[in-house]
Amino acid sequence: MKRIGAICLMLTVLLGGCAATPAAPSLEERLVTIDGAQNTRDIGGVVTLDGRTVKTGMLVRGTELDGLGDARFCVDEEARDAAMEMFGFVCDFDLRAAELDGYVSPLGDEVTHTFFAAPMYEEVFEEDGKAALRRMFTALADGANYPMYLHCTYGADRTGTLVFLLQGVLGVSQEDMLREYRLTARTFPAYLTNGDLQPLLDGLSAYEGNTLGERIETFLRTDVGVTAEELESIRAVLLE
């Protein structure tokens, strides 16, 4: 574990020799601790079904940082500076639904910020959910938005849904996608099972594809309007 100021990052995944085993890298070993935030982790370090690896240091997920929805989750200046020194975030990818004139990211006014009003679980199949997904995947396809901090209030439902879909696009195995979702139980024990995720899984089963990732891609392309070029851009940015 490496400690810098108020932030402590554990990235002890050993990638050497793991490429042949998609589930080998331990998700638990990619936990990130930022003082004032919880449920934070780097989505990188996972080996995909085709043997590539999701890059580390590109997308960190977690709770909000400003206490807007829950006063427990609020970073001070020291924690912010340490997080920026560690990751160099350029984008605050905010899944919350808020309309705040003049809002500035707690990561600093130089960091790009957008409220996306993201859907969770089966809401992705509703028209408003699809429209929000369309905006989010367009932003995810833009390499200028990385490294990013991606969050809702608790980093659980809206964040869990989007990361689940994103991992499917990247070719992460269904087993590792579910393990990533359940890691939220470290902070919020209710997420130890897939209960709330099941309606999303059931809905995706109606789409064409041999794997969950292929069914997610079919959904995104046919119903949401995400282009093949955007999906390939996401893979180019986040895979090595």
- At 26 the pLDDT is 60
How many domains, the chain? 1
DSSP 126-174: SHHHHHHHHHHHHHHT-GGG-SEEEE-SSSSHHHHHHHHHHHHHHT--H
Q: Given this model, what pLDDT does residue 28 score? A: 62
Q: Residue 178 belongs to a domain with what CATH number?
A: 3.90.190.10
* Burial state string for 95-134 with b = 16 or more CB within 10 A and e = fewer than 16: bbeeeeeeeebbbeeebbbeebbbbbbbbbbeeebbebbb
Q: 55-100, pLDDT tens digit by residue?
A: 999 999 999 999 999 999 999 999 999 999 999 999 999 999 988 8
* pLDDT at residue 8, rounded to an integer: 40
* 13 within 8 A of 3, measured Cβ to Cβ: no
Could you give the C-alpha distances from 2 to 29, 31, 85, 215, 222, in angstroms and in order? 12, 12, 13, 39, 44
Which residue is listed with tokens 């919350």? 96
Over range 169-193, report the average pLDDT: 93
Total-model pTM: 0.88
Question: 216 is in which domain, residue-wise?
Answer: 2-238
pLDDT of residue 101: 87
Using the predicted structure, report yes or no on whether residue 233 has a pLDDT greater than 60: yes
Percent of the chain with pLDDT over 90: 81
pLDDT per position as a tens digit, 202-226: 999 999 999 999 999 999 999 999 9
